[in-house]
Amino acid sequence: MNNSNNALTEAVYYILLALTTPLHGYGIMQRTAELSSGRLVISAGTLYGALSTLMEKGWIKQLDIVADSRRKEYQITAAGREVLEQELARLEELVANGEKILKL
State the pLDDT at residue 22: 95
- Note whether residue 78 is domain-resident: yes
Percentage above 90 pLDDT, the chain = 84
State the pLDDT at residue 6: 82
Which amino acid belongs to residue 3? N
Q: Tell me which H or E stretch contains 15.
A: helix 10-18
Range of the domain at 57: 10-102
- Note whether residue 57 is domain-resident: yes
- Note whether residue 4 is domain-resident: no
Q: Tell me which H or E stretch contains 75.
A: strand 73-76
- Note whether residue 97 is domain-resident: yes
Q: Are 59 and 79 in contact (CB under 8 A)?
A: yes
> Which of the four pLDDT bands, split at 50, 70 and 90, describes residue 10?
very high
- Note whether residue 38 is domain-resident: yes
User: Helix crossing, 78-102 with 44-57: angle to 10°?
Assistant: 110
Alpha helices in 19-60 (DSSP H): 25-35, 44-57
pTM of the model: 0.88
- Note whether residue 5 is domain-resident: no
Number of structural domains in the chain:
1
Q: In this structure, what DSSP letter does residue 12 have?
A: H
Question: pLDDT tens digit string along 68-104?
Answer: 777 899 999 999 999 999 999 999 999 999 999 998 7
Domain of residue 18, CATH code: 1.10.10.10
- Note whether residue 68 is domain-resident: yes
